[in-house]
């Protein structure tokens, strides 16, 4: 999911380039393997993230083997593994706000990766946003969530002088994107993965019911490195007409125009202390 958040003791992130290194688990001493089996699920997740992202950086995607390795760990994660239940106050409806506040539980962050949990009450929304240079894993721990995601259409012209149809108002700088996902997902379900240029790098999450999402970002957002979170509005393809851009009538629902906007004023993401099983950082 990957909305940019402010966390305590956040370290600066830097682009680090390299190639994944193969490891042979059978070469580990028996004592080490035995200790690994005794890890809590969240400790195993931390250790796997540390291994998978150790030689990655902005725009550097882990190897297919490492992608599957981390996905396999996340696929087995349950709410109890991180100390969550649907009865916690984070997931209750509130009447004080038009848009429900979302709670973020910070698990870990370093320059290589971050781990955290978004807790959404019913109707909670993480608006359409991007993940520059990141590989992102999102695991729905419980509940039902609607996900709509997009990827940019390669080589599509950016609209600088569109004529709205039917409205005369034309937002500047809209850009063509292709719908990647537009569906409801209910736990238990497989972990979703997005990549720097594929897999739905721009997405919006809407809580159909109260739900929790465990997020892993590699690398995290970094303002100093120019990888900040950008927000968007989406418009149906037929809403604008841009010279040189055409789509078959039966395919128009699979495309949209995205316009970058400032962070929505009604978006409230409150930080809270993670109280699940301890993570031993090493």
Position 58 scores a pLDDT of 93
Let me know if residue 65 belongs to a domain.
yes
Evaluate whether 175 touches 79 at the Cβ level (below 8 Å): no
110: domain CATH number is: 2.60.120.10
- Maximum pairwise Cα distance, the chain: 70
Q: What is the pLDDT of residues 194-206, one digit of tens each?
A: 999 999 999 999 9
Let me know if residue 23 belongs to a domain.
no
Lowest-pLDDT range, 36-40, 139-143, 195-199, 256-260? Answer: 36-40
Strands 102-109 and 269-272: parallel
Q: What is the pLDDT of residues 142-153, one digit of tens each?
A: 999 999 999 999
CB atoms closer than 10 angstroms to residue 3: 20
Determine the average pLDDT of the residues in 219-231. Answer: 92
Let me know if residue 246 belongs to a domain.
no
- Among positive and negative, which fits the CA dihedral 142, 105, 49, 18? positive
Position 130 scores a pLDDT of 97
Domain count, the chain: 1
77: closest CA among 272, 214, 281, 273?
A: 214
Which domain, by its residues, includes 197? Answer: 41-151+182-220+266-272
pTM of the model: 0.82
Taking 60 as the threshold, does the pLDDT of residue 187 lie above it?
yes
Angstrom distance (rounded) from CA 209 to CA 119: 11
Please indicate whether residue 154 or residue 15 has the higher confidence score (pLDDT): 154
Residue showing tokens 């962070």: 263
Position 26 scores a pLDDT of 41
Concatenate the DSSP letters of all residues of 132-169 into one string: TT-EEEEEEEESEEEEEEEEEPTTPPPPSS-EESS-S-
Question: Is residue 5 very low, low, confident or very high in pLDDT (cuts 50, 70, 90)?
Answer: low
């Amino acid at each position: 999911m990957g909305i940019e958040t402010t966390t305590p003791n956040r370290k600066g992130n830097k682009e680090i380039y390299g190639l994944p290194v193969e490891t042979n688990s059978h070469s580990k001493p028996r004592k080490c393997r035995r200790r690994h089996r005794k890890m809590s699920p969240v400790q195993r997740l931390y250790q796997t993230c540390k291994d998978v992202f150790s030689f990655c950086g902005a725009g550097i995607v882990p190897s297919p083997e490492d992608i599957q390795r981390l996905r396999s760990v996340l696929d087995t994660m349950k709410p109890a593994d991180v100390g969550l239940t649907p009865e916690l106050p984070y997931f209750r409806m509130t009447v004080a706000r038009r848009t429900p506040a979302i709670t973020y539980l910070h698990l870990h962050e370093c320059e290589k990766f971050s781990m955290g949990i978004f807790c959404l009450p019913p109707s909670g929304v993480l608006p359409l946003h991007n993940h520059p240079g990141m590989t992102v894993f999102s695991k729905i721990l419980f509940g039902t969530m609607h996900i709509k995601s997009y990827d940019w259409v390669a080589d599509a012209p950016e609209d600088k002088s569109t004529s709205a149809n039917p409205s005369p108002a034309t937002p500047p700088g809209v850009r063509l994107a292709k719908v990647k996902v537009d569906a409801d997902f209910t736990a238990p379900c497989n972990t979703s993965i997005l990549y720097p240029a594929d897999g739905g790098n721009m997405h919006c999450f809407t809580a159909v019911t109260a739900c929790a999402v465990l997020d892993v970002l590699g690398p995290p957002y970094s303002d100093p490195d120019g990888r900040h979170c950008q927000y968007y509005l989406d418009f149906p393809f037929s809403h604008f007409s841009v010279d040189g851009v055409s789509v078959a009538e039966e395919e128009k629902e699979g495309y949209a125009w995205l316009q970058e906007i400032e962070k929505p004023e009604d978006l409230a993401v409150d930080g809270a202390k993670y109280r699940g099983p301890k993570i031993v950082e090493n």
